[in-house]
Structure 1
Amino acid sequence: MIFDCHGDIWTDVTVQRDNGMKDVIKNRHLNRFNSGDIIGGIFVLWIDPPHDKNPKKRLVEMISATSTEIMENQDILKIVLGKEDFDKALEEEKLAVIIGLEGLSGIGDNINLLNALYMFGVRHASLTWNEENLLATGVRGNPERGVTALGEKAIHLMEKLGIIIDVSHANDKTFWDVYEKTTKPFIASHSNCRALCNVKRNLSDEQLKAISKRGGLVGLNSFNEFVHLDKNKQDLKHLVDHLDHMVDIMGIDHVCFGFDFFDFLENNTTDDFVEGDTIGTKDFENASKTHNLIAEMKKRGYSEEDIEKVSYKNFYRIIEELI
């Protein structure tokens, strides 16, 4: 059983529903999930390019598409508002889905909208994607700029409500601001190790240690450009090297999976951040290939208990503690 802590599923739902498709998850995702033994995940509302020019408008469009998809597919979806919903999803053999927000540009300066989003079912959010916004700064923003005064208020409200705070995509200044201004565990849902692949989206050893010290999690990211700078080494074995490094630095209890598969997204969306002509790590290109990852972990000596922790138990603890 695998819980994937990051997927752009609601983006695909919105795009495909705009094109007239219904039951998008059944038609385009469910078979891969079943093949990969994925029992759920954090499905994020991401203001995808080119719609990031008007984030408020896009957020409303995505909420509309997402809520309609959920209402029409309650036979396969269980929205997780607390650990009892996760348990019930497993009992009913439905996907255990946490509604997340990948960046809060869509709320503008109105942090009270977090209350409305919480009531809608949101239980996870990052302050920013790659951009600067009114709350914080992503990896493409000014390195001297971090969390704003308004962003600090948003963080405190998120902790009070029970919304998991995510620092993937934050620049270093925002990361450390979040660390200093929070009291509860937080996560980096889809980030790898800068020591093995020196890109801004990956985390330094100091950041890994800080998340572990706080009781949080880091999710292993499958995106090939975060695996290795050498394209010939953007493969499953080098991806699992990141997992090994996380475990060495943080301990097995602070690692999870946040695969960030986006093989299903359209080019006008992925062109904004994909540099090469491939978007998949060799032998681990999509959600159906998770058995390859588990096999590699077993080959490296991970026990069944270790694998269960990384696959879903560690995140279940976060659900228990935070939402």
Structure 2
Amino acid sequence: MIFDCHGDIWTDVTVQRSKGMKNIIKNRHLDRFKKGNIIGGIFVLWTDPPHDKTPRKRLLEMVEATAAEIMENQDILRIILEKEDFNKALNEEKLAVIIGAEGLSGIGKNIDLINALYLFGLRHASLTWNEENLLATGVRGNPKRGVTELGKKALHLMEQLGVIVDVSHANDKTFWDIYENTTKPFIASHSNCRALCNVKRNLSDEQLKAIRERDGFIGLNSFNEFVHLDKDKQDLKHLVNHLDHMVEIMGVDHVGFGFDFFDFLENNTTDDFVEGNTIGTLGFENASKTHNLIEEMKNRGYSKEDIEKISYKNFYRIIEELI
């Protein structure tokens, strides 16, 4: 069983429903999830390009589409609102889904909207995607700018409510500002290791140690450009090198999966962050290919217990502690 801590599923739901389609998860995702033994994940509200120019409008569109999809698909979905819902989803053989937010630019300066999103079902959020906003600074922002005073208030409210704080996409200053202005475990839902692939979206060993110190969690990201700078080495074996490094630095109890598959997204969205044409990490292109990853882990000596921890048990601990 695998819990994927980052998927842009609500983006696909919003795009396809705007074209008149329904049952997007059943028709476009469920088969791959079943083939990949994926039992659920964090599905994020993300103000996807080109809609990032009007984030408040896009957030409302996504909430509307997400709510409609959930109401029409309660036979396959259980939204995790409290920790007991994870096991209920397993018992009911439904997808265990956390509603997340990949950036909170859509709330503008009104942090009280976090309360509204929480009542809607939000249990996870990052302050930013790649952009600067009124709360904090993503990896494409000013490296000297971090979390704002308003952002600190947002972090306090998130911890108070039981919303998991995510540092993926944060620039370095924002990462350390979050570390300094939170008290509970936080996660990097979909990031790799800068020591193996030196890009801004990956994390340094010092950041990995800080997440471990806070009893947090990092999810291995399958995006090929975060695997290796050499395109010829953007493959499954080099991806699993990141997993090995995470385990070496943090210990097996703080590592999991946040695959960030984007094979289903449209080009006007992916062109904003993808360089050239790509089919993803070779050997691990979409959610149906997780058996390749598990086999590579077995070949490297990961025990059955370790694989279960990394696949879902470590994140289940985060759910139990924070939600």
State the 1:83 CA deviation: 1.7
Q: What is the aligned partner in structure 2 of residue 184 from structure 1?
A: 184
Question: What is the alpha-carbon distance in structure 1 between the residues aligned to residue 222 and residue 288 of structure 2?
Answer: 13
- Give the TM-score normalised by structure 2: 1.00
Q: What is the aligned partner in structure 1 of residue 70 from structure 2?
A: 70
- Give the TM-score normalised by structure 1: 1.00
Q: Supply the RMSD in Å over aligned alpha carbons.
A: 0.4
Question: What is the alpha-carbon distance in structure 1 between the residues aligned to residue 276 and residue 244 of structure 2?
Answer: 26
Amino acid of the residue matched to residue 298 of structure 2?
A: K
Q: What is the aligned partner in structure 2 of residue 296 from structure 1?
A: 296
Q: What is the aligned partner in structure 1 of residue 222 from structure 2?
A: 222
Counterpart contact for 1:236–1:281, Cα < 8 Å: yes
Q: Does residue 155 in structure 1 map to residue 155 in structure 2?
A: yes
1:99-140 Cα offsets, whole Å, 9 max, x none, are 000000000000000000000000000000000000000000
Query: 1:38-187, aligned counterparts within 5 Å?
Result: 38-187=38-187
State the 1:192 CA deviation: 0.1
Question: What is the alpha-carbon distance in structure 1 between the residues aligned to residue 160 and residue 241 of structure 2?
Answer: 36
Query: 1:6-17, aligned counterparts within 5 Å?
Result: 6-17=6-17
Q: What is the aligned partner in structure 2 of residue 262 from structure 1?
A: 262
Report which stretch shifted further, 272-281 or 52-61: 272-281
Query: 1:5-44, aligned counterparts within 5 Å?
Result: 5-44=5-44
Q: 1:175 to 1:279 in 2, by over 3 A?
A: farther
State the 1:82 CA deviation: 1.6
Q: 1:260 to 1:278 in 2, by over 3 A?
A: same
Question: What is the alpha-carbon distance in structure 2 between the residues aligned to residue 53 and residue 257 of structure 1?
Answer: 30
1:134-176 Cα offsets, whole Å, 9 max, x none, are 0000000000000000000000000000000000000000000
1:265-300 Cα offsets, whole Å, 9 max, x none, are 000000000012104100000000000000000000
State the SS of the aligned residue for 1:314. helix
Q: What is the aligned partner in structure 2 of residue 196 from structure 1?
A: 196
Query: 1:267-286, aligned counterparts within 5 Å?
Result: 267-286=267-286
Amino acid of the residue matched to residue 24 of structure 1?
A: I
Segments ≥4 residues shifted beyond 2 Å? none
Counterpart contact for 1:262–1:279, Cα < 8 Å: no
Q: Does residue 3 in structure 1 map to residue 13 in structure 2?
A: no
Question: What is the alpha-carbon distance in structure 2 between the residues aligned to residue 25 and residue 83 of structure 1?
Answer: 23
Amino acid of the residue matched to residue 86 of structure 1?
A: F
State the SS of the aligned residue for 1:11. helix
Amino acid of the residue matched to residue 158 of structure 1?
A: M
Give the number of aligned pairs: 323
1:198-231 Cα offsets, whole Å, 9 max, x none, are 0000000000000000000000000000000000
Q: What is the aligned partner in structure 2 of residue 320 from structure 1?
A: 320
Question: What is the alpha-carbon distance in structure 1 between the residues aligned to residue 157 and residue 144 of structure 2?
Answer: 24
Amino acid of the residue matched to residue 117 of structure 1?
A: L
- Percent identity, aligned pairs only, is 84
Amino acid of the residue matched to residue 225 of structure 1?
A: E
Counterpart contact for 1:139–1:169, Cα < 8 Å: yes
Question: What is the alpha-carbon distance in structure 1 between the residues aligned to residue 297 and residue 14 of structure 2?
Answer: 35
Question: What is the alpha-carbon distance in structure 2 between the residues aligned to residue 160 and residue 195 of structure 1?
Answer: 34
Question: What is the alpha-carbon distance in structure 1 between the residues aligned to residue 82 and residue 203 of structure 2?
Answer: 29
Counterpart contact for 1:124–1:166, Cα < 8 Å: yes
